[in-house]
Chains A and B, each alone.
Chain A
Amino acid sequence: RKEVEQDPGPFNVPEGATVAFNCTYSNSASQSFFWYRQDCRKEPKLLMSVYSSGNEDGRFTAQLNRASQYISLLIRDSKLSDSATYLCVVSGGGSQGNLIFGKGTKLSVKP
C-alpha cells in the first residue's frame, strides 16, 4: 500500500460546484496532516492543517479520520482561482521532520 494515496484526477468542475478530495495514509503513527496547494510550475503552499476535530477556513473544510486513516478536503462554491493541484501531506511518524507527500489531485474549475 502506498504511503499517501490520492485520486490524481483531474477533477473538472463548473464554477460554484462543491468538490471533495480524499486521501488515505498507511502509517498509523503519523501525527500531523496537511493540505497544500500547488499551482503549475510553482512551489507548494500550505492551504490548511488538518486536526482531529476537523477544521474550516472559509470555503474549505478538512476532516481527519484516524481510525480509517483517511483525510478529506471539501471546497464549496468553487472559484476559477481554485484551479490547482492539491497535495495531501502526512508526517512520517518517525523523526519529526519526515513528511510524506501524496502525488496530488488536480482540480480545474471552468466558467
Chain B
Amino acid sequence: EAQVTQNPRYLITVTGKKLTVTCSQNMNHEYMSWYRQDPGLGLRQIYYSMNVEVTDKGDVPEGYKVSRKEKRNFPLILESPSPNQTSLYFCASSSYKVNEQFFGPGTRLTVL
C-alpha cells in the first residue's frame, strides 16, 4: 500500500529535550515536506526537500532541522524544543512535478 508514515503519532516532552519525528514514504517520491498546523494559522511549511541531500527552508524553519540522506526518509529534528513548537505536524511527499501531495497521518507534539 502506497503511504507516508510518521512516528511517533503522539509525543509529550519537556523544553530542551532533543527529539526526532520520523517520516518515511514507499512511493519513490523525490519531493518531501514538513508542515505544522495550528488553530487559526492553518498549515505552514517548515522545510522541504526536492531530492536526496537537497533541502530548503519553508515559511517557518526556525527551531527545526531536517536531513535527506535517503530518498524514502525525511526526519524532522527539534534540537531544543520549546512550548511554541507544540503543534500538529504533517509530513508529505509527491513526485517531482508537485502534483498530488500525499500526507502522513500527523504527529501531535506537546512541549511542556
The interface of chain A, by Cβ under 8 A from chain B, is 32, 41-46, 49, 87, 91, 95-104
Contacts and interface: CB of A to CB of B under 8 A. Distances in A.
Contact of A43 (B33, B98, B103): B103
Residue of B40, B59, B96 with most partner-chain A CB within 10 A = B59
Contact of B98 (A41, A99, A101, A102): A99
B90 A44 contact: yes
A32 B98 CA distance: 8
Interface stretch (B16-24, B43-51, B78-86): B43-51
Contacts of A46: 100-101
B86 to A, nearest CB: 16
Contacts of B106: 41-43
Given A43-B106, A45-B103, A46-B100, A97 B43 contact: no
A95 B96 CA distance: 11
A56 B66 CA distance: 38
B98 A96 contact: yes
Contacts of A99: 33, 45, 98, 101
A103 B41 contact: yes
Nearest to B96: A96
Nearest to A99: B45
Contacts of A97: 31, 33, 48-50, 56, 98
Contacts of B40: 103
Contacts of A101: 35, 42-45
A96 B58 CA distance: 12
Contact of B43 (A49, A87, A91, A95): A87
A87 to B, nearest CB: 7
Interface string B39-77: 011111100111000001011000000000000000000
Contacts of A95: 48, 50, 56
6 smallest A-B Cβ distances: which pairs? A103-B42, A43-B103, A101-B43, A97-B48, A46-B100, A101-B42
Contacts of B90: 43-44
Nearest to B43: A101
